[in-house]
């Protein structure tokens, strides 16, 4: 189901005019969260970021936070499936000249979501580093041009994901944040030139209860010598990285600290579920 | 009027499903040309680039070149206005998972076009430099995120356009190529990290008849000492740049060489008009 500017529509009727600034100039922001048992996960964090992204892009959001929650509540009920993904997109609107933003269009989609399984976790992922700095990285825009463009390359290289680096410093993967566990058992994650993930935030808070945590620059070289590496995202939760540029990390299997954080995160998920309307 | 995948539609009925990869991940390419007296300008150059952009993005174009020309011919006739802009967009299609490209959607829009007037030429433009490298700069993608995002800044600064630089080397403005005339009367334009404009190509060919022409790196410092600067694009033709980062270029008025090239280009335009279907 799709909500567009106040109307609830079937997927096939969820249409937007081609003069929209998303299609004309890729000018739009979004956010994405999932539900468990019909309850949204980390909803307030996602709404905080959505409104912040809109403001950073000079796009007014016509709907207030509580009314937006009501729409989300309605969509989850109407959809009926207990585990779905909800994407909220705000575009630059229908531009008369195809360059100046106009009145934003608000689009909310509910759709099936594929979440990493225990088997995916056990299999873990292999990543390749690549020099690339996303534009406006702190804003969750729709720009995944490079990420989608790199997919044939990743497939050809037999890798699962690309790790972006900016002048030798690790930043993020296209849809996840990256973490390393040092040999002396600290958790470290980059703190600039990347998107501040909601899962990242919650992993950091959670991990700080059990180990030292640092947000700071990480060079590719330092990462390569990590005891453990993992990435975090809404659909991957915590996903071990067992090879970087062809070099095995640790013994090539998920590490002990990653296992521990993963188990804690699964508990946190369950504890964090709130009714949308309270 | 808008053509979408074989159908000719009124503007208000030109709709695309929100699962299109353009809206989901800004994955799409386009090209844009204009007509004079109902005849397209530099059509073959634009079609060359359109098919090249599509191939670089791994997007198959279902329609062959001659059939595409027939559609363009029909659209120009149906539109009826002698001077219009035609935009051809090819998107990543309706993606089931919002990340993998699917069957591309082809969208062709005819719309009013505002071309720089003699008065605009005389007024000329003032530009500000800024460090920014576009992703995949050789492909004409829909990504103008940074350009649109910078508009409030340009307005606040009283500048007309931004000049992107990559580590001290000049590349392009968001929608134009940049040229300098040296004090010893050479024409120079960058040759990497930018889009190869159709107007750029035709200006270079034309200028080579009357003066030395070089395609090579230009530092911001070198540009700042230019005798004359101009930018080129489909809607601006040749547009003098009379101030760079607040410093006047030449005497702050369009230069003699720029005037000469502009006049030659206006002639070239008239001579270059061809019937779409020959």
Nearest CA to A81 out of A50, A117, A113 is that of: A113
Which residue out of A12, A26, A32, A161 would a mutagenesis test of the B interface target, given it has the greatest number of B Cβ atoms within 10 Å? A26
Report the alpha-carbon distance of residue A270 to residue A265 in Å, rounded. Answer: 9
Q: Which residues of chain B have pLDDT under 50?
A: none
Report the alpha-carbon distance of residue A169 to residue B195 in Å, rounded. Answer: 28
Q: How far is A209 from chain B (nearest CA, A)?
A: 35
The position carrying tokens 């035709």 is: B202
pLDDT at residue B170, as a whole number: 98
pLDDT at residue B278, as a whole number: 59
CB B99 within 8 A of CB B152: no
pLDDT at residue A278, as a whole number: 59
Cβ of B135 within 8 Å of Cβ of A145? The answer is yes
Residues forming a β-bridge with A94: A20
pLDDT at residue A121, as a whole number: 98
CB B229 within 8 A of CB B179: yes
Nearest CA to B109 out of A212, A19, A121 is that of: A19
Q: SS3 string of B112-163?
A: ECCCCCHHHHHHCEEEEEEECCCCCCCCCECCCHHHHHCHHHHHHHCCCEEE
pLDDT at residue A52, as a whole number: 98
Q: Which residues neighbour A141 within 8 Å (Cβ) at sequence distance 6 or greater?
A: A26, A27, A28, A29, A30, A53, A57, A135, B26, B145
Q: Which residues neighbour A85 within 8 Å (Cβ) at sequence distance 6 or greater?
A: A32, A33, A34, A35, A110, A111, A112, A113, A234, A235
Pull the structure tokens for residue B133: 């490298």
**Backbone dihedral region for residue A194 (phi beyond 0: left; psi -120 to 50: alpha; all else: beta):** beta
Cα–Cα separations (whole angstroms), residue B238 to A140, A170, B118: 36, 42, 11
| A146 inside 8 A of chain B by CB | yes
CB B250 within 8 A of CB B199: no
| B105 inside 8 A of chain A by CB | no
Which residue out of B98, B145, B151, B161 would a mutagenesis test of the A interface target, given it has the greatest number of A Cβ atoms within 10 Å? B145
Report the alpha-carbon distance of residue B140 to residue B197 in Å, rounded. Answer: 9
Q: SS3 string of chain A?
A: CEEECCEEECHHHCEEECCEHHHHHCCEEEEEEEEECCEECCHHHHHHHHHHHHHHCCCCCCCCHHHHHHHHHHHHHHHCCCCEEEEEEEECCECCCCCCCCCCCEEEEEEECCCCCHHHHHHCEEEEEEECCCCCCCCCECCCHHHHHCHHHHHHHCCCEEEEEECCEEEEECCEEEEEECCCCCEEECCCCCCCCHHHHHHHHHHCCCCCEEECCCEHHHHHCCCEEEEEECCCEEEEEEEECCEECCCCCCCHHHHHHHHHHHHHHHHHCCCCCC
Residues forming a β-bridge with B172: B164
Residues forming a β-bridge with A228: A181
Residues forming a β-bridge with A20: A94
| B145 inside 8 A of chain A by CB | yes
Residue B16's CB is within 10 A of a number of other CB atoms, namely 25
| A142 inside 8 A of chain B by CB | yes
Cβ of B135 within 8 Å of Cβ of A146? The answer is yes
pLDDT tens digits for range A129-173: 999 999 999 999 999 999 999 999 999 999 999 999 999 999 999
What's chain B's Rg over C-alpha atoms? 19
Q: Which residues of chain A have pLDDT under 70?
A: 277-278
Q: How far is A125 from chain B (nearest CA, A)?
A: 18
What's the whole-model pTM score? 0.96
Complex ipTM tops 0.85: yes
Quote the DSSP letter at residue B105: P
Report the alpha-carbon distance of residue B16 to residue A2 in Å, rounded. Answer: 14
Q: Are strands B213-215 and B187-189 parallel, antiparallel or unpaired?
A: parallel
Report the alpha-carbon distance of residue A238 to residue A206 in Å, rounded. Answer: 12
Q: Are strands A15-17 and A28-36 parallel, antiparallel or unpaired?
A: unpaired
pLDDT at residue A144, as a whole number: 98
pLDDT tens digits for range B123-134: 999 999 999 999
Give the B window 14-33 contacts with A, CB below 8 Å: 14-28
| A151 inside 8 A of chain B by CB | yes
Pull the structure tokens for residue B150: 């910078």
Q: How far is B167 from chain A (nearest CA, A)?
A: 12
Q: Are strands B106-112 and B84-91 parallel, antiparallel or unpaired?
A: antiparallel
Residues of chain A found within 8 Å of residue B141, distances taken between Cβ atoms: 26, 145
Report the alpha-carbon distance of residue B76 to residue B61 in Å, rounded. Answer: 21
Cβ of B22 within 8 Å of Cβ of A17? The answer is no
């Amino acid at each position: 189901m799709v909500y567009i500017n106040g109307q609830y529509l079937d997927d096939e009727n969820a249409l937007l005019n081609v003069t929209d600034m998303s299609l004309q100039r890729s000018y739009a922001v979004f956010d994405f969260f999932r539900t468990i048992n019909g309850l949204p996960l980390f909803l307030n964090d996602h709404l905080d970021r959505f409104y912040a992204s809109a403001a950073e892009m000079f796009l007014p959001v016509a709907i207030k936070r509580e009314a937006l929650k009501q729409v989300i509540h309605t969509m989850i009920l109407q959809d009926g499936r207990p585990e779905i993904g909800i994407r909220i997109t705000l575009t630059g609107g229908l531009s008369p000249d195809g360059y100046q933003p106009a009145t934003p269009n608000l689009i909310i989609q509910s759709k099936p979501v594929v979440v990493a399984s225990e088997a995916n976790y056990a299999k873990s992922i292999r990543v390749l580093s690549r020099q690339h700095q996303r534009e406006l990285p702190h804003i969750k825009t729709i720009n995944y041009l490079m990420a989608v463009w790199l997919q044939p390359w990743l497939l050809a290289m037999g890798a699962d994901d690309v790790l972006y680096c900016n002048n030798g410093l690790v930043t993020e993967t296209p849809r996840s944040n990256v973490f390393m566990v040092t040999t002396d058992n600290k958790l470290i994650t980059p703190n600039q030139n990347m998107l501040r993930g909601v899962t990242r935030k919650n992993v950091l808070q959670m991990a700080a209860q059990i180990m030292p945590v640092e947000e700071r620059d990480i060079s590719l070289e330092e990462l390569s010598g990590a005891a453990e590496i993992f990435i975090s995202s809404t659909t991957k939760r915590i996903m071990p990285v067992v090879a970087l540029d062809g070099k095995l990390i640790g013994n090539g299997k998920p590490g002990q600290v990653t296992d521990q954080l993963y188990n804690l995160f699964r508990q946190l998920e369950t504890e964090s579920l709130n009714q949308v309307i309270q």
